[in-house]
Chains A and B, each alone.
Chain A
Amino acid sequence: MAANPMSQFDVYRIGPEIKVGAFDISFTNASLFMILSTVSILLIFNLGSKKNSILPNKIQLLAELSYTFVSKMISDTAGSKAKPYFAFIFSLFMFVLFCNMFGMIPYTFTVTSHIIVTFVLAAFIFIGVTVIGFIKHGFGYLKLFVPSGVPAVLLPLIVVIEIISYLSRPISLSVRLFANMMAGHTMMKVFGGFVISLGIVGGWLPLSFSVALTGLEILVAFLQAYVFAILTCIYLNDALNLHH
Chain B
Amino acid sequence: MVKKIYFQSIFFSFFFIKEAFAAESGGMPQLNPEFWVSQIFWLILTFGIMYLVLSKLILPKISKNLESRKSQILENIEAAEKQREDSDAKLKEYDEIISKSKLEANSIFNQAREKALKDIGAKREVLDKQIDNEIAEAEKEIDVLRKNAPDKINKIAIETSSELLQKLIGAEINNSSISAIVDDLSKRNGDKYYGN
Contact = CB atoms under 8 A, between A and B. Distances in A.
A49 B61 contact: yes
B62 A42 contact: no
B58 A46 contact: yes
Contact of A10 (B22, B50, B63): B22
Interface string B109-139: 0000000000000000000000000000000
A63 interface: yes
A6 interface: yes
A26 interface: yes
Contacts of A46: 57-58
Contacts of B68: 52
A5 to B, nearest CB: 11
Interface string B16-47: 00110011001111111011111111111011
A175 to B, nearest CB: 11
A190 interface: no
Q: Which of under 10, 10 to 19, 20 to 34, or 35 or more describes the interface residues of B?
A: 35 or more
Contacts of B66: 64, 67-68
B72 A67 contact: no
Nearest to B61: A49
Contacts of A86: 59
Interface string A20-53: 0001111110110011011001100110111010
Contacts of B57: 46
A126 interface: no
B55 A91 contact: yes
Contacts of A115: 30-31
B69 interface: yes
Secondary structure at chain B's binding surface: helix, strand, loop or mixed? helix
A157 interface: no
A1 B22 contact: yes
B55 A114 contact: no
Nearest to A37: B46
A86 B55 CA distance: 9
Contacts of A6: 26-29
A64 B63 CA distance: 8
Contacts of A87: 51, 54-55, 59
B53 interface: yes
Contact of A9 (B18, B30, B41, B51): B30
B65 interface: yes
A7 B50 contact: no
A25 B68 CA distance: 44
B49 interface: yes
Given A26-B35, A30-B35, A116-B30, A45 B65 contact: no
B24 to A, nearest CB: 9
Contacts of B61: 49-50
The bracket for how many chain A residues form the interface is 35 or more
A142 interface: no
A3 B65 contact: no
Contacts of A68: 66
Contacts of B35: 11, 24, 26, 28, 30
B37 A88 contact: no
Contacts of A64: 62, 65-66
A212 interface: no
B39 to A, nearest CB: 5
B51 A54 contact: no
B72 A54 contact: yes
Given A52-B69, A64-B62, A7 B36 contact: no
A114 B47 contact: no
Residue of A49, A64, A95, A178 ringed by the most chain B CB atoms within 10 A: A49
The 9 residue pairs across chains A and B that have the minimum distance between CB atoms: A87-B55, A31-B42, A49-B61, A38-B50, A34-B46, A52-B65, A25-B41, A11-B35, A91-B51
Given A24-B38, A95-B50, 8 more contacts: A11-B34, A35-B42, A35-B46, A67-B66, A88-B55, A111-B43, A115-B30, A116-B40
Interface of B: 18-19, 22-23, 26-32, 34-44, 46-47, 49-51, 53-55, 57-59, 61-66, 68-69, 72-73
